[in-house]
């Protein structure tokens, strides 16, 4: 039986990535990867809930993959974060980005960037289960069906 590796471990092994100290990543680098991790999880759940036309899949996922929805999610789970997770979130939220939000307030955009940084940090430390736990609980608290 083949040993099961996480997606992260499989990527690192396949492409011979050198180990990197997570503390050396900037918050915007963490947010860069965290944004895609969040998007991948939402899209995976949407696809797993039924084979539909691509435009219907996009419509289902885009209501959750935006700065406003991400800001609401982090507000819902803030009380569940560890001190370390809060610290990573704050670093991301306070990072000076050179891009601006489309269709979102600056406050929501910064909160979303903080959430993405947190998810990037958790992903790169191989804690995908924690991301899933926070997303599931957050959506439950918000009454949002994924």
> What is the reported pTM?
0.94
Quick check: is 39 catalytic? no
Any idea where the domains of the chain sit in the sequence? 25-142
Architecture field, domain 25-142:
Orthogonal Bundle (1.10)
Residue 3's pLDDT is 63
Instruction: For residue 120, give the nearest of 44, 62, 38, 64 by alpha carbon.
Output: 38
- Residue keyed to tokens 């069906």: 145
Q: Out of 21-30, 45-54, 69-78, 112-121, which region has the weakest mean confidence (pLDDT)?
A: 45-54
Catalytic residue among 35, 36, 39, 108: 35
């Amino acid at each position: 039986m083949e040993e099961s590796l996480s997606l992260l471990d499989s990527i690192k092994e396949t492409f011979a990535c050198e180990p990197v100290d997570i503390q050396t990543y900037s918050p915007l680098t963490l947010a860069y990867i965290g944004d895609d991790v969040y998007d991948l999880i939402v899209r995976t759940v949407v696809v797993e809930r039924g084979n539909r036309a691509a435009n219907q899949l996009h419509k289902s996922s885009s209501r959750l993959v935006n700065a406003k929805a991400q800001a609401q999610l982090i507000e819902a789970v803030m009380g569940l974060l560890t001190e370390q997770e809060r610290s990573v979130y704050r670093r991301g939220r306070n990072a000076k980005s050179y891009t601006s939000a489309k269709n979102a307030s600056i406050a929501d955009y910064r909160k979303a960037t903080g959430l993405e940084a947190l998810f990037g940090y958790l992903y790169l430390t191989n804690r995908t289960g924690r991301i899933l736990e926070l997303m599931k609980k957050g959506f439950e608290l918000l009454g949002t069906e994924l």
